[in-house]
């Protein structure tokens, strides 16, 4: 079977086959990611930004994560389905974190959870792993900490911050994480992180030396690239298919055809009444 598990990802890592991960937040997006054969589908809390229109991920709740992860669950058969533990649902205690992770497993049926943080989150990670749940770490740029950091900014660009990223990755690994997302650090620092841990490091905006890559669905598909939209995709996110402009054109064409009474043509007016029935109406 093609079913991905923590164990098959481990084998893939040992065979040095890059791990592919893409975000999805609902049934159709998750189906597309699954059909494309990605190893991991991530219901990221980026959904707060690319789906709900918030400026950060801070507003995302457990209810949002369960709602969206449940929809993705109905689509994903073979990929590993991972959900983010949202801001505010794991920082106050290891018990709070374990309760949130357990809810994502029980109520959304995901295969594993991901949470942000390094040294300071080792306790909650090991508590969740102890409860029987696979945890993916997330270090480097940690978007949920935007209040403290002031902006979404790359990190590890000084020796001091690079050492902190490496310490964070080690702490997350030692706490029992099966894999670690590494966001927005220089490629040479990413290589040091990869060498510092013996679990797959999945990069985003961190160069080619990672054991896998992840991108946000809307960014890689140019979906929020409309000129009226303030924030374009981040500069590290290649647009693999510029779907956004196709959507704009399609909807504009539809509106024009309706206004010009060209849609629906006979082809799209399929329901017929017989002459006999119609005559009874006269």
Enzyme catalytic residues: 183
* Binding partner at 111 among Na ion, ligand KIV, none, C-beta below 5 to 8 Å by kind: none
Residue 97 CA to residue 143 CA, distance in Å, equals 18
- Both tokens of 243, joined, read 């779907």
Helix (H) or strand (E) holding 97: helix 94-103
- Report which residue's Cβ sits closest to ligand KIV: 44
Residue 174 CA to residue 169 CA, distance in Å, equals 9
Q: Site map for Na ion, 35-54, x if CB under 5 A?
A: ---------xx---------
- Both tokens of 35, joined, read 């059909």
Interface with ligand KIV in residues 38-57 (CB under 6 A) = 42, 44-46
User: Least separation, in Å, of the C-beta of 125 and ligand KIV?
Assistant: 15
Check if the beta carbon of residue 173 is closer than 8 Å to that of residue 199: yes
Helix (H) or strand (E) holding 174: helix 159-174
Residue 181 CA to residue 115 CA, distance in Å, equals 9
Interface with ligand KIV in residues 22-41 (CB under 6 A) = 23
- Please say which residue, 123 or 234, places its beta carbon nearer to ligand KIV: 234
Nearest CA to 237 out of 247, 227, 223 is that of: 223
Interface with Na ion in residues 81-110 (CB under 5 A) = 84
Residue 61 CA to residue 96 CA, distance in Å, equals 14
Q: Does 26 bind Na ion (CB under 5 A)?
A: no
* Binding partner at 181 among Na ion, ligand KIV, none, C-beta below 5 to 8 Å by kind: ligand KIV
3-state secondary structure of 203: strand
User: Least separation, in Å, of the C-beta of 141 and ligand KIV?
Assistant: 9
Check if the beta carbon of residue 98 is closer than 8 Å to that of residue 127: yes
User: Least separation, in Å, of the C-beta of 48 and Na ion?
Assistant: 9
- Please say which residue, 20 or 23, places its beta carbon nearer to ligand KIV: 23
Interface with ligand KIV in residues 191-250 (CB under 6 A) = 204, 214, 216
Residues making contact with Na ion (CB under 5 A) = 44-45, 84
Residues making contact with ligand KIV (CB under 6 A) = 23, 42, 44-46, 84, 138, 181, 204, 214, 216
């Amino acid at each position: 079977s093609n079913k991905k598990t923590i164990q098959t990802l481990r084998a893939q890592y040992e065979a040095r086959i890059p791990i592919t991960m893409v975000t999805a937040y609902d049934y159709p997006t998750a189906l597309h990611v699954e059909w494309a054969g990605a190893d991991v589908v991530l219901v990221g809390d980026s959904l707060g930004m690319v789906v709900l229109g918030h400026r950060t991920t801070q507003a995302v709740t457990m209810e949002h994560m369960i709602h969206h992860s449940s929809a993705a669950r109905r689509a994903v058969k073979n990929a590993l389905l991972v959900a983010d533990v949202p801001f505010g649902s794991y920082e106050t205690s290891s018990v709070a974190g374990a309760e949130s992770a357990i809810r994502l497993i029980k109520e959304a049926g995901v295969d594993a959870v991901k949470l942000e943080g390094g040294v300071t989150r080792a306790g909650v990670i090991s508590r969740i792993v102890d409860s029987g749940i696979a945890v993916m770490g997330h270090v480097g740029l940690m978007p949920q900490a935007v209040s403290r950091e002031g902006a979404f900014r790359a990190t590890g660009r000084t020796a001091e911050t690079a050492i902190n990223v490496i310490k964070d990755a080690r702490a997350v690994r030692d706490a029992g994480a099966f894999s670690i997302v590494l966001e927005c650090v220089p490629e040479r620092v990413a290589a040091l992180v990869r060498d510092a841990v013996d679990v797959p490091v999945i990069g985003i905006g961190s160069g080619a030396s990672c054991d896998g890559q992840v991108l946000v669905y809307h960014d890689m598909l140019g979906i929020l690239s409309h000129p009226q939209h303030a924030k374009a995709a981040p500069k590290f996110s290649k647009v693999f298919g510029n779907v956004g402009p196709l959507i704009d054109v399609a909807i504009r064409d539809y509106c024009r055809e309706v206004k010009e009474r060209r849609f629906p043509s006979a082809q799209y007016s399929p329901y017929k009444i017989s002459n006999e029935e119609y005559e009874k109406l006269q």
